[in-house]
Structures are given as structure tokens and as C-alpha cells.
Amino acid sequence: MAQRHRRLIWQLYGSQLLVALLALVAVAGLAATLVRGFYLQQAEADLAARGRLILDKVGELLAQAEGGAPVALREYCRQAGGASATRITVIAPDGLVLADSEQPAPDLENHRGRPEVEAALVGRLGRDIRFSSSTRYDTMYVALPLPGESEGQVGGVLRTAIPLVAVSEALAEIYRRIAWSALLIAVLVALVAGLSARRLSRPLEEMRAGAERFAAGRFGRKIREEGAEELAGLAGAMNRMAGQLALRLQTIACQHNQLQAVVGSMVEGVITVDGEQRVLDLNRAAAELLNVKPEQARGKSMQVAIRNSGLQQLARTALEATEPIEGEFTLLDNRGRERFCHAHGVRLTLAAGGAGGGGKSPGLFAKRDWGGAGDQRSYPPAPSGKSAPGLCRQCLP
């Protein structure tokens, strides 16, 4: 089964487009990641700044509520949280929630194990993003350590938090813009890749068409030498090859015509056959001798075109022999008289796969020296290797 080949333009176009789209997806993904990281860093810095603004006030109210219910602290957190749209939570060192701007403190569970709280209790800035069961949103938490009674002691944790709904919405809008931009760029890349692939494949298509013209023997139209240096050089080489081929074919045709004129004007009969004993050509003298028409005999088997067993046997012997052979066969003339004909045959050895088919070398078979029955004249032997093979000389009546 013949293998189907894809056109070069589609191979080039597909590979270029795939590489461009992969690069575009990678850049778009990297851009989205960087934008998300930037937004989250900005949100973290904003929450930390909000916490530092109220850190001293919260520490003061926490100290005043020592030993009692931190009513004033809870009220302050509620007011400050509402004014800044921030959830504010104050947590004791043991994780107990002392005040919260959105939920009653007694209803909240212990926060000792929260990652941002643990970081703040050791004196560092704590940060975490997770789903909040109370607000039902993904929330960013930033925790600051509250100063204690002694130097280096942590007296509690002030935690600020905002839901990431606004950040998610802003990121979603940015992602949409990135997606639309990527789509527009992909369309432009597809157009550019198509034009580039077409520019590369067009000279090759022109060369293929030129090669087909040259194969058909039409050498008048040259291939345009355009495109890249390598393609233009290849087109130029093909044009030079076509010129040389046309010159050689013209020379061969001229030589063939000359040979046809010489053979056609000879009085000796000449027959050429291939390896399958098909008649390739015969001159006028041979056609008159055998009483056949050349145009009807050409291309046919000798068994069909020339019904003479002796001549057929000589042809087979000549094709199988490595040296020129001679022989005789009988032939009836127009008056019904039997005539003895002398023949000389030689096999021409050509390259394998040449004319003749079937792996056999083409053969050239010549008839020469024919005379009537009882003709006692002697004829010179056929020359071996010096005279042109296939020339035959008719005997005198």
C-alpha cells in the first residue's frame, strides 16, 4: 500500500503554529502566575499596614481589660473593622479569641493551631490563605505579635483578614484580558506561520512542477530562482541540468535521425529485436524481403510479425550467445520459389534495466547474403566486431 505523504506547507505550518502556541500558552500562564503573586503580595502588605495602624491602640485596650471582659476592646475592633472593611481578631497567647469584629468572641474556637497565629506567637509576621468556615470565602490572614509586659514577650496576636473575593474578581478580569490577548496573538501567529510556510513551500512546488515539465521533455520554461539561497541554488542547478539534458537529447535525436537515414537507405535488410523477441525496428529492405509492413511489425513479437521459424530460431540463438553468430534460413519469394538467406546476428549488451525488459539484453539481428536455391556463389564471412552489427547485404540475382 502506497504511503500517503502530507504536503510540506502543512508540515511546516503545523510545527510552526504548535511551537508558537506552546510558547504563547507558557507566557500567558507565567503572566497569570506573576499577576496573582503580585496581587497577593499587595493584599498582604495592605493587611499588615492596617494592623500596624491599630496595633498600639489594641495593646492599650488589652492592657486595660486585664482580668476582666474586654468590652471596650471588642467594641473598638467592631468599629475599626467596619470602617476599614477588614476583619480584626485579637487572640490571647493561649489561642483564646478575645475580640472579633464580625463574630462573637465566645462562639469562636481556639486559634492556637492556626499557622499565622503560631508564627505571630514566636514574634514573626504570620500569613496564610485558606477557606473560612465563618465567612464561607477564601480569606487571607495576616497576624502581628502584640507586645507583652516585658521586653521580647508576646502579649497576644492581632490578626487582620479580608476575603479574597475582590482579589479573585480582579484576577478573573485580568485572566480574561490575558486570554483575549492570547487569542488575538494566536490568530496573528497563525497568519504569520501560514505566510512563512507558504513562502518556504512555494519554491519547492515550483521546482516540482519544473521537474515534471523536464521529465515530459518541455525544457523551454525555466524554474524561477527565488526564495532562500539554498532553494535558489537548487533551482539554478535544475535549470542547468535541464539545459544539458535538452542538449544531449537533441544530440541523440540528431544521431538517431542520421542512423535512420543510413539504415533506411541501405539495400541490406536490418531487423532489431529486444530481449523478448519483440520487433523494435526494421528497414525498408527487410520489410520488402519479408513481405511485411514496418508500421505493423514494430512492437510485435517475431512469432506474430514474422512467421519464419528459421529466422526466429536464429534470433533466439543470437540473443543467448555472447559472440556474433551466423546462420541460414529459407524464405519463399513472390513466385513461390525457395531462397536461402544468410544471416548475421549479434547481441548488444546494455546496462541492467535498459531496453529489452525481462532482465535480458536487447538484441540486434541482421539478415544478409540471401540467394536462390542452388546458388553456388561464395560470400565473405560476416566481420566480427568491426562492421556495424545488423548491416546485411542482399545478394545479386
Over the stretch 56-95, which tens digit does the pLDDT of each residue have?
999 888 888 776 678 899 999 999 999 998 999 999 999 9
Q: How confident is the model at residue 318 (pLDDT cuts 50, 70, 90)?
A: confident
Comparing 105 with 386, which gets the higher pLDDT? 105
Lowest-pLDDT range of 231-235, 307-311, 353-357, 384-388: 384-388
Q: Which fold has domain 266-372?
A: Beta-Lactamase (3.30.450)
Instruction: Supply the mean pLDDT for the chain.
Output: 79
pLDDT on residue 290: 81
**What gap in Å lies between CA 278 and CA 303, rounded to an integer?**
9
217-234 exposure pattern, b = at least 16 Cβ within 10 A, e = fewer: eebeebbebebeeebeeb
Per-residue pLDDT tens over the stretch 339-367: 788 888 887 765 444 444 444 444 444 44
Cβ atoms of 182 and 176 within 8 Å: the answer is no
Q: Which residue has the cell 535525436?
A: 253
Q: Where in the chain is the domain with CATH 3.30.450.20?
A: 42-162, 266-372
User: Does the predicted model carry a pTM greater than 0.75?
Assistant: no
Question: How are strands ordered across the β-sheet holding 126-131?
Answer: 97-100, 87-91, 154-163, 138-147, 126-131
In eight-state DSSP terms, residue 348 is P
Return the CATH number of the domain spanning residue range 42-162.
3.30.450.20
Distances (CA, A) of 172 to 39, 141, 161, 190: 12, 21, 21, 26
Per-residue pLDDT tens over the stretch 109-149: 899 999 999 999 999 999 999 887 766 778 999 999 998 87
- Residue 47 above 90 pLDDT? yes
Comparing 372 with 366, which gets the higher pLDDT? 366
Amino acid code (one letter) for 53? L
